[in-house]
Chain A
Amino acid sequence: MSDLKELQHEFLNYLLQKPSSITNNIISDQQLSAQGRLDMYAHGYRLRLKEAIETDYEQLHAYLGDETFDRLMDHYIDLTLSHHPSLRYYSQGLPTHLAEIEPWKETPELAEIASIEKAFCDSFDSADCIAASVQDLSEIDPNSWPNLKVKFHDSVQLLTLEYNSFQIWQALSDEEVPPTRAKDSTTWLIWRSDLISNYVALAEAELSALNTMLAGGDFSALCEVLLDHYEESETPQQAVFLLQEWLSSQMICNIAITND
């Protein structure tokens, strides 16, 4: 199949606007030249990728305006091949593209707005689970609690932003004029419950607690990390309170006692 492989390789090069000999393999006729026919595919390639990006980054599009967003899409497409059979995953690299590449990285809220939209995309179709309940927690023997661990819903994500990008995103979503960029270091929790994506800004104590439990920590580790934020006598109560909050919010799929 070396002939077919070579032909496909050259066809792809044409789509990617690289040097290609594929026109030698295509018949030109009175209706249209080989190049004119191949251009239908080259045009379609870029159009499809742009549609995928536009779908995933609606508010970034609104923030940048049509012309600049189109320039961004062209830049991203020029540098990014699609390695996944589904277009759903093509634009996953856009936040990194914006954070790392000139001229986009000079406007840091762009990468942050993109990372918010990507987080919601990921939350939207992350794996389902039957949420554990407060009742499940109450049925666990209190003597085993120090070794209690939880498995979070796959949609649970922490997003640390250095600017007021969430407020910008929120205003754009509400079709209001977004605020000017300002420093505002905040970590946001994003998760899905009842098929709806949710978000909330985290206080330091809950952020430390979530980081600990997401990293596989147990209830003892949770209490320990909360010592940085509460009096020692308060920490078990605060730890239970947080667990109950997460369970009520359908963020936890499973509670288990582990002895490792």
Chain B
Amino acid sequence: MRRALLLALLGTVTLSAAARAAFGPSYGGSATIAVPFVPQATGPGLGASTVERLVLGLVHATLLEIGPDGSLRPGLARSWASAAQGREWTLELDPAARFHDDAAVTAAPAVRSIRRFLAGGTPAARRLARALEADGVGADESGRLVLRFRDATGRPLLPLASFACAVTGARGAAAGPFIPTLAIPGSRLALTSFAGHWRGRAYLDGLTVLAVPDDARRHADLSAGRVDLALGEPGVQASATTLLLVLNSQQAPFDRVATREAVAAAIDRVALARDYIPGGVPTLSPLPPSLSGTSGAGGVPRGGRRLAGAITLAVATDVSPAISQRVVAHLDALGLHVTATPVDPSAARTAATEARLFLFAPEVADFGIATQEVAALAPPGPAVVIPLAAVPVSVGARPGVHGVRIDAAGRASLEDAWVER
């Protein structure tokens, strides 16, 4: 009798847990996501790393967004229309949009944000600046945002989806789904859901972004349930970044084409992707597969060419140390003495070292913009930018955590994440 009752109770508990998941998302609760590092600032920016893009997506909102198919989706601007044969575009802002300080998102802060974006000089900003007329950003009498272009071009509004173009209020308030409440730079960022979000408040009441630099520790923390989510762990993923090795052709030993070619040929991309990058794919394209549509082994590595010299390799801290060590091992096998130095992901793109290793995700998921962005990474030349592998952006979740999404630009969105309670 007792045993029957116990089994019945256990069954009820099990069924109720399953039932809760089956009933769909619910509001409330909080979650902690473990990430390799916590950005020093949360202001609008390029989002050079997966972590930065995650935080930007939590805090900020853009006028437009890019859908999984690469098409524009409404953001703070609920609709847009062109006139003057495609040279003038008018964006109507969502009247429900509010900043974190409860101020309405109007054309004025939007215009100011676009001008700030244009002054920032990101690849997307440069493209928009080239396309716009002088003083081509403004608002009409109806409070709509108006952009006037020199010529009619295809998809001219794409740059507005850049997080560098996130709209902020007069006092710097953002309009994303979460409000930063506590920031310990480099260590922890605590956020609470923004009840006034124009798409409705997030399911989670609170979210903590916690720095756990060690890959194994993140894995262990997620497995043990010490964190609810972990970046880089198997789970929801999108092949949105590319591992790039950029050689500085202005400095020895990579000022010689033969040396650069030897490096490009010596790295075994297949083994690197297979053994060191979960879900990774060897590639010869610097763009992620979602934009380039291609991936490949890149041929059989040719070793044995002995090089000499000592180089410093700047490694972005969002690159797994195991991946970096493998690249170092290849360079070492060539005869180069490598000193690997971890640097901030955004700094890795411009570090003045002989070589740089970082994960590249385009500012805006657009082939044209991304190609220009890659071109800006290094001076033109053969084998200066060496694509190694397509690296997926992945977020693992403990059981009972749902709703995590990652878009084509590698943005992990927790706007719709929820926890079973």
Q: Note whether A and B form a binding pair.
A: no
A contact set with B: CB distance below 8 Å:
none
B contact set with A: CB distance below 8 Å:
none
